[in-house]
Amino acid sequence: MQQAIASYFQQLSPEQWFWLFFCALLIGLAKAGVKGTGMFAVPIMAAVFGGKTSVGLLLPLLSMADVFAVSYYNRHAEWKYIWRLLPAAVVGVGIGIWVGYIVDDDAFDGLIAIIIISSLVLMIVQEYTTLSDKLISSWAVASIFGVLGGFSTMIGNAAGTIMAVYLLATRIPKNNFIGTTAWFFLIINLFKFPFHIFIWGTITAKSFLFDLAALPAIVLGVFLGIRIVRFIPEKAFRYFVIVMTFIISLRLLLA
C-alpha cells in the first residue's frame, strides 16, 4: 500500500506538486473573494504543465471550488442573467473545442497567453468605465459576452474577467454577483467535462486523482480568503496580481 502511494506521488515532480497545490490555493482564494488570484493560476499552470494539459488539470479544481461557492451563495443567484448568457457561452465553448482540437501545443500556449493578457486589459478598463444600461439590456451584447466567455473558458479557463465586466455593469449587489457567477461557471464547467475527456483527452482518471489530492489546498484557500479579504488593500493587491500575471503570460507567449 505504501509503495502504491509513493509511486502515485512520484508521477509528478516535487516542483509540479508544489505548483499544483499553490494554484489550487489561489483558486480557493479567488472563490472566497480575493479577486484576480484565479487568473494568476492559469499562466502558472500552463508554464509548468503545458497549455492543453494544464487546462484539463485546472477544470476539476475550478469545479470543486465552484461547488463551495454555490453552496454558500446559491440563494443570491440572478438567474435571468445566467439564462441570457448561457446559450451564447455554449456556442463559444463549441468554437473553443474546435480551435483547441486543430492547433498544436505551442499555439495553444500562445492562445492562453493572449486570452489572459486581453483579460488583464479588460480588467484595467473596467476600473475606469462601465457599460451603459442600454447596452446591458441588449441580447446582442449579452451574446457577444457569452461567446467570448465560452471560448475563453474552454481554451484557458479564463472567462472570469469577461463575465465580471458584464455582470458588474448590471449593478447587482455583491452577494448576487458572487452567486450568479458561481452558478454560471459551475454549469458551464460541468458542460465542458465530456469534451475534455472524450475529444481533447485532457482529463483522465490519473489527472483527476491529482486534482483530488489538491482538494485540501482549495479548502485552505477558501478558509484563508474569507478571513483575509477584509484586510487586503484591494486595489493595490489587484494591480500586483495584474502585473505578475502579465509577466508570466508574456513569458508563456514568448517561450
Model confidence pLDDT, tens digit, residues 44-83: 998 899 888 999 999 999 999 988 888 877 777 889 999 9
Higher pLDDT, 65 or 124: 65
State the angle between helix axes of 79-102 and 174-195 in degrees (0 to 180), rounded to the nearest 10: 30
For the stretch 78-95, pLDDT in tens is 899 999 999 999 999 999
pLDDT-derived band of residue 32, with 50, 70 and 90 as boundaries? confident
Instruction: Report residue 95 CA to chain centroid gap.
Output: 18
pLDDT-derived band of residue 23, with 50, 70 and 90 as boundaries? very high
> Domain count of the chain?
1
172-201 average pLDDT score: 89
29-44 average pLDDT score: 82
pLDDT above 80 (res 232): no
**Cell numbers 481533447 label which residue?**
200
Closest CA to 157 of 198, 205, 204, 108: 108
pLDDT above 70 (res 5): no
CA distance 115 to 30: 18
Cell numbers given for 218 = 482549495
Average pLDDT, the chain: 84
pTM, two decimals, is 0.86
**Structural domain containing residue 198:** 2-254
199-203 average pLDDT score: 93
124-129 average pLDDT score: 72
Lowest mean pLDDT among 8-17, 61-70, 138-147: 8-17
Predicted confidence at residue 1, as pLDDT, reads 42
Closest CA to 25 of 14, 37, 15, 11: 37
Cell numbers given for 99 = 480551435
pLDDT above 50 (res 2): no
Higher pLDDT, 245 or 38: 38
Q: Are 169 and 148 in contact (CB under 8 A)?
A: no
pLDDT above 50 (res 6): no
pLDDT-derived band of residue 169, with 50, 70 and 90 as boundaries? confident
Closest CA to 222 of 39, 20, 44, 72: 72
